[in-house]
Amino acid sequence: MTELVLRSPLAGWSSPPEEVPDEVFAKRMLGDGVAVDPVGNVLHAPCDGEVISIAASRHAIALRHANGAEILMHVGIDTVGLAGEGFELLVRKGERVHAGDPLLKFDLDLLARKAASLVTPIVVTNGDRFRVVGARVNRTVAVGDELCVLESMGAAAIETVAGGAPVVTESVVVRHAHGIHARPAAMLARHAKTLPFPLEVRARGRGADPRSAVALMSLGIRGGDELVIAGFSPAAAGAVAELARVVRELESMPVRESAAPPQPAAPRAADGSLRGVIASRGFAVGPTYHRQSAEIVVAEGGGGADAERAALSAARAGVRAKLEQRARVGGAAGEVSEAHLELLDDATLLAAAERALAAGKSAGFAWRFAARDSARALEATGDALLAERVDDLLDLERQVLIALGHDAGATQPIPRGAILLARDLKPSELIDVAPGTLAGIALAAGGPTSHVAILAGVMGIPMLVAVGDELLGIVGGTPAILNADAGTLRAAPPAEVLAAAERELVQRREARARDLAAAQRPCRLASGERIEVFANLVGTVADATLAVQQGAEGCGLLRTEFLFLDRACAPDESEQVAAYKRVADVLTGKPLVIRTLDAGGDKPIPYLPMPAEDNPALGLRGIRTSLWRPDLLETQIRALLRAGDGCRILLPMITDIAEVRSVRRVVEEQGAKLGLPAPPLGAMIETPAAALLADQLAAEVDFLSIGTNDLAQYTLAMDRGHAELAARIDGVHPAVLRLIGAVCEAAAKHRRPVAVCGGLASDPDAVPLLLGLGVTELSAVPTAIPRIKALVAAQSLSACRALAQKACALPSSEAVRALLQAPRTEEVAS
């Protein structure tokens, strides 16, 4: 009798099957085993073996050991309906793995919100050949700890009919919403084992023994697929009919393995307006116009691998030439085109397309397969920022298919001054719209950090995203008011409301022209105090040029992540120096504050694998990452030292003075080697710890910069990436305002300037509050600078201080917003 030790694939708490909150596993319908309630986010191999099955939804993986034992690992309960969301495969079907190898990564937080349970059963599915003994349950286990032992019972393998032709068959369409996943597979296998004849289930060009639940799941049968049940003797007709009956009954089987219920649309405003997420601020009035992009139809079969390969290469070359031309023009469209150029030659995309071409597929089918396979992988990460890059892949898919000669469908010309409505919008579709055509954009889906959102902001087009499907029901040509400052879209307003909105639009345009004309002057309060207004930049020359045109007095935050993302290795010292100097040249001597690499958390870097973290937002982020990788820090510090006069170094995610001193030592050491003086060093205040220790930090650094987005997130203990909580995170919450006030007070004692470089600096309503709290510098998005400077010029410091004092005494951010909207008589006219 042979034995096989199964090691725990997860760290967590082990329990017997009967404690799993699912009848299939609790009653051992799939087989015996052990369950683990995980505390980590990576599933490991419990033994050596071959990956024989991966669920279409990526939530379950099965291995077969050399002795024939088949082990199924099912991550969480009711996870099939997530359709892969939150799961990232690390292996492929057919791959051989060793005990302890990582198989699957999953988003523990997302599953905790959307799944019925995180408990993960580890089950031996061919229990007719192996039994579980010595199960280690009701204890804490680590990855690799012994979980149980499998004893072979010496039984023969499941009987199959090698080379036999089916004598009787019956076709059945699977009506169950999620196809043949764990639960229906277990039911089918249990029935099949009671039937005295060899049977086979065939689907998607493959066959499986119905007595093996894993074999059934490996077919990847989805709802709506047709399967064939085959018997190999006339006497098997009754068994075939019985199994077909069971498949049909799956339709009425409760769909317990489902995603979280659909989230309701955002509530309408009191006036009936639809609400959305602000992607680009502004105000627009105009008729609605529906942009509908039809799905491009491609044939699957090709005309020979060589011919299709040549066609795809030629199409990619045509798209590359167009993208290169746009990239040379520069600006936001040029930056997006550069990103698409990288994707066009992505090794993973090309490899996937080549596999499809080699299988006889057409060039269009191969390219679509490659693009959507990568898109699914991004969506499955559960990372909102990465998921927004899916639009870029689908956009590139469309561009190449059009270059291949496929019909993209005719679109009606956009009326000038229209508000475009659509489910989503590709960056290239917006780039192709003539400047000045659109008054605004509202999308049912999408995210505020997508490339199309960035483009809209740079182009000055007001834009809302994530408005919901109700948006698509608005009739084209309907008059509408898009208020992308308030996050609302109002269709078919009363005539008097529409007329008032049109008057407001004229007033805004006139005010914008006045603000822009005055923006080149140094900024002062009406009461005389000097307030510097800088720009937040992502790092391109076009970005810096726009900031100067809008009246920026310098750069208050240059993000350096742009140099480190979307590449195979870190940038070397020379590349960094050149990038920093290009921006410095545009600023022509104006201050340039450069933030060191802020990686980790919501900004993962592929070549910088982080240790597994249950909560990345509380793990290796910001300066912690740089101190964890001193080689990257030293290279960046040398580049910053060489960037030239006017440069200042800003350290992200500081929590105490020890971190500052560690970096200062690196600055001094590298400066000594290069013979260059140390530039001013600043600390970002993004955590309550840093805010409460601001007196110590102000004594250690040359300036402080408050990142209000993260400070609000950590102060309010709400994840700003959480769909249900993001709207509640407001930097004007009294708790956040009190921390900002404490930072300013501490900095004043040491005569240190305090900047705000987070979202509040671009929020006109919040600016008087920040000034009243003691902020001496505002760093805003470039297009907001003229308005911010005009607003500052209309304030008196005494009025701002009185307003801030009132706000800090209020109980909620809603109360503060109401205060900010109320008329104020204490302002001093300029």
Task: Identify residue 784 by its one-letter amino acid code.
Answer: A
pLDDT band at 830 (very low <50, low <70, confident <90, very high): very low
Structure-derived torsion over alpha carbons of residues 700, 701, 706, 709, reported in degrees to the nearest 10 = -80
Task: Check pLDDT > 50 for residue 261.
Answer: no
Nearest Cα residue to 32 out of 65, 80, 70, 87: 70
CA-to-CA distance for 152 and 132, rounded, in angstroms?
A: 9
Cα–Cα distances in angstroms (integers) from residue 441 to residues 220, 391, 426, 438, 682, in the given order: 40, 16, 12, 8, 39
Give the distance, in angstroms, between the CA of residue 531 and the centroid of all CA atoms in the same chain. Answer: 36
| Tokens linked to 374 | 């990568």
The answer to whether residues 106 and 88 touch, using CB atoms and an 8 Å cutoff, is yes
The answer to whether residues 58 and 380 touch, using CB atoms and an 8 Å cutoff, is yes
Per-residue confidence (pLDDT) for residue 593, from 0 to 100: 96
Per-residue confidence (pLDDT) for residue 704, from 0 to 100: 97
CA-to-CA distance for 42 and 612, rounded, in angstroms?
A: 8
pLDDT band at 224 (very low <50, low <70, confident <90, very high): low
- Please name each of the domains of the chain with its CATH number: 3-152 (2.70.70.10), 168-252 (3.30.1340.10), 274-293+411-499 (3.50.30.10), 305-403 (1.10.274.10), 524-821 (3.20.20.60)
Residue with tokens 């600390």: 683
The answer to whether residues 462 and 469 touch, using CB atoms and an 8 Å cutoff, is no
- Out of 17-31, 80-94, 352-366, the most confident range is 352-366
Per-residue confidence (pLDDT) for residue 481, from 0 to 100: 97
Q: Give me the DSSP letters along 102-167.
A: EEEEE-HHHHHHHSSB--EEEEES-TTTEEEES---SEEE-TTSEEEEEEE--PPPPP--TTPPPS
Per-residue confidence (pLDDT) for residue 257, from 0 to 100: 34
Per-residue confidence (pLDDT) for residue 250, from 0 to 100: 66
Q: Give me the DSSP letters along 34-97.
A: EEEEESSSEEE-SSSEEEEEE-TTSSEEEEE-TTS-EEEEE-SBS-GGGTTTTEEE-S-TT-EE
Task: Identify residue 129 by its one-letter amino acid code.
Answer: R
CA-to-CA distance for 630 and 459, rounded, in angstroms?
A: 39
What is the per-residue pLDDT across 657-713, written as a single tens digit (0 to 9) for each?
999 999 999 999 999 999 999 999 999 999 999 999 999 999 999 999 999 988 988
Q: Residue 496: CA atoms inside 13 Å, Cβ hemisphere, count?
A: 0
Give 334 or 645, the one with higher predicted confidence: 645
Task: Check pLDDT > 50 for residue 83.
Answer: yes
The strand ranges marked E within 488-645 are: 488-491, 532-537, 555-558, 592-595
Task: Check pLDDT > 50 for residue 232.
Answer: yes
Give the distance, in angstroms, between the CA of residue 343 and the centroid of all CA atoms in the same chain. Answer: 17
Active site residues: 451, 757
What is the per-residue pLDDT across 476-491, written as a single tens digit (0 to 9) for each?
899 999 999 888 999 9
Query: Which of these ranges, 16-30, 94-108, 541-555, 748-762, has the smallest mean pLDDT?
Result: 16-30
Per-residue confidence (pLDDT) for residue 669, from 0 to 100: 95
Cα–Cα distances in angstroms (integers) from residue 136 to residues 11, 44, 147, in the given order: 13, 17, 5
Per-residue confidence (pLDDT) for residue 34, from 0 to 100: 95
Indicate the angle between helix axes 797-808 and 813-821, nearest 10 degrees.
Answer: 150
What is the per-residue pLDDT across 575-623, written as a single tens digit (0 to 9) for each?
999 999 999 999 999 999 999 998 765 555 656 665 555 566 676 778 8
Mean pLDDT of 403-425: 82
| Tokens linked to 195 | 């039937």
Q: Which residues contact residue 12 at a Cβ distance below 8 angstroms, ignoring those fewer than 6 apart? A: 36, 37, 38, 39, 40, 120, 140, 141
The answer to whether residues 664 and 699 touch, using CB atoms and an 8 Å cutoff, is no
What is the per-residue pLDDT across 317-335, written as a single tens digit (0 to 9) for each?
998 888 887 776 655 566 6
Q: Residue 355: CA atoms inside 13 Å, Cβ hemisphere, count?
A: 10
What is the per-residue pLDDT across 436-494, written as a single tens digit (0 to 9) for each?
899 999 998 877 756 688 778 767 899 998 888 889 889 989 999 999 988 899 999 99
pLDDT band at 179 (very low <50, low <70, confident <90, very high): low
pLDDT band at 561 (very low <50, low <70, confident <90, very high): confident
CA-to-CA distance for 740 and 770, rounded, in angstroms?
A: 8
What is the per-residue pLDDT across 631-640, written as a single tens digit (0 to 9) for each?
899 999 999 9
Task: Identify residue 581 by its one-letter amino acid code.
Answer: K
Per-residue confidence (pLDDT) for residue 826, from 0 to 100: 46
- Out of 211-215, 264-268, 369-373, 556-560, the most confident range is 556-560
Task: Check pLDDT > 50 for residue 216.
Answer: yes
Per-residue confidence (pLDDT) for residue 701, from 0 to 100: 97
pLDDT band at 255 (very low <50, low <70, confident <90, very high): very low
pLDDT band at 160 (very low <50, low <70, confident <90, very high): very low
Task: Check pLDDT > 60 for residue 400.
Answer: yes
Nearest Cα residue to 420 out of 279, 282, 286: 286
Average pLDDT score, the chain: 82
Task: Check pLDDT > 90 for residue 556.
Answer: yes
Give 427 or 342, the one with higher predicted confidence: 427
Per-residue confidence (pLDDT) for residue 745, from 0 to 100: 97
Per-residue confidence (pLDDT) for residue 154, from 0 to 100: 59
The sign of the dihedral angle between the CA atoms of 542, 543, 549, 552 is: negative
Indicate the angle between helix axes 331-344 and 451-459, nearest 10 degrees.
Answer: 160
Q: Give me the DSSP letters along 622-677.
A: THHHHHHSHHHHHHHHHHHHHT-TTEEEEESS--SHHHHHHHHHHHHHHHHHHT-P
The phi and psi torsions of 113 (rounded to 5 degrees) equal -80, -35
pLDDT band at 417 (very low <50, low <70, confident <90, very high): very high
